[in-house]
Amino acid sequence: MTKIPQRPELNALFNSPPEDAIAYLKSKGFKIGWDWHETLDEAHSRAFTVAKVARIDLLQDIRKSLITALEQGQNLEQWKAAITPTLQQKGWWGKQTVTNPAGIEQTVQLGSPRRLKTIFDTNVHKSLAAGRYKALMATIDTRPLWEWVHISITNPRKVHLARNGETRRYDDPFWLYAYPPTEFGCKCKVRARRASDAEALDLNVVETKPEDIEQHQVIIGKSSFTGQDAVATQTRIRVRQADGQVTYFSPAAGFNSHPAASYLLDVELTKRAADLLGAQKGLEQVQQMLLSQPRLKAHEAFVKNAISFGKQQNKTSTVGVIDMRDIKFLTKKNVVVESPVLTISDHLLVGQKAKRHGEAGNAPTLVEWLVLPQDIVRLDRVLWDVSNESMLYLLPVMTEDFSSFTDEFLKLSIRSKNGVMEIVSIFKVQKKAIVDGLNANFYEVIR
């Protein structure tokens, strides 16, 4: 008889395979990084990285092995036994002198039992937490309260233990920055509660106000080959108890993130938006979440990771919600709209289309890519491209100093792919070309 390991985060693995956690890990792209602090916060929700792994095949091997661990319910020792021979065979093991990204020889610690434990614990627990977040979001209509549950095997962290039992609404700002895990080794979790439980169970309900959240830059180390300070954003949250007591809580540097930045919430948002199709207020709520800081940072991470990797990984970012007027127009054109959520793929950043528009000089700038979710809600007009049977979003283009608008539009061509609205091309066009197209009846005005 197989003995179930007595570790909370591993016990979950011995039930049915955690499909959402597996999907989360599979959804990540890859990012080559040298120091651990090169990929922090929301970027971790979009890219899989291991410090000092400079080969994509090694990253692929490690991620594949972690997915297998989740699928098969492997514990740490089983996973280490499976992955160690591969890493040793490919030379990623022990202390070695290697050439760093600056072209300088450097003695570094590569694979080791200790490093493997960190890789396993961080990735498995974050994947399970992201999967649980998706499940919690699916029940907010009946269980809108979330309770922090402290879990510790040995040596409990006092600041985490102090959070035990604290209960907040699912949309409390606290969860945007401090959804566990909030540091290496943290195994705390969140439990959903009914609104009636607050009184029935005498829950410790607290509320975070916007002014209770402060962010500042902290030095978290030095680049191992340039010697420059590595700086990260750290969040400090004021916690006000019902009895008037005030304490503070800060996630560790690098954990200033949230599962809302992940692919899993894109999936849940798509489902929720589809359920609300036709309900304008519901669609506005989804749009509001997409414009929240964690979501905007997630899109920023998507853009920067795609550019850093340099080639298509078939990853997407959710950047907006199409308007009810657009949906009604598309329905009349017999276009299937199963979800109003608007997505964009990384191939438009680094694929053949990106190269072609770059050479033509009409590609979006990096800034325009980064602010795309905000610009979409400020679009100028919406047209129907008659010959291509696609919807066009025309966004105003600012001058480099942001002092005025240019004579161009950023044109987004949008099509339904299996019921999901996807941006299939994005590039700049002269406003005159749009006017000429309207006069020639190449376009129809939607709004």
Q: Which two tokens stand for residue 213?
A: 């959240």
Exposure letters 166-199 (e unless 16+ CB within 10 A, then b): bbbbbebbbbbbbbbbbbebbbbbbebbeeebee
Q: Which of 299, 287, 304, 317 is closest to 379 using CA atoms?
A: 287
pTM, two decimals, is 0.59
Task: Give the other-Cβ count within 10 Å of 351's Cβ.
Answer: 15
DSSP string, 218-272: EEEEE-TTT-PEEEEEEEEEEEE-TTS-EEEE-PPTT----GGGSHHHHHHHHHH
Pairing status of strand 105-109 against strand 166-169: unpaired
d(CA 17, CA 20) in angstroms, rounded, equals 9
How does DSSP classify residue 92?
A: -
- Taking alpha carbons only, the member of 370, 315, 294 closest to residue 130 is 294
The DSSP code for 13 is G
CB 21 within 8 A of CB 127: yes
Q: Are 370 and 435 in contact (CB under 8 A)?
A: no
- Residue by residue, pLDDT tens for the chain (447 residues) are 344 334 443 343 334 457 777 776 766 666 556 555 454 444 445 556 666 666 777 878 888 888 898 888 888 899 999 999 988 888 888 887 877 666 777 777 777 888 888 888 777 877 787 778 878 887 888 999 999 999 876 777 888 988 999 999 987 888 878 888 888 778 888 999 999 999 999 999 999 988 898 877 777 666 666 667 766 677 889 999 888 889 999 888 767 656 555 545 566 666 666 676 667 777 777 788 788 776 787 788 788 878 877 878 777 888 998 888 998 899 899 888 877 889 898 899 998 999 999 999 999 999 999 999 999 998 989 999 999 999 999 999 988 887 888 999 999 999 988 777 899 999 999 999 999 999 999 999 999
Continuous H helices in 336-441: 347-350, 352-360, 366-370, 372-376, 431-439
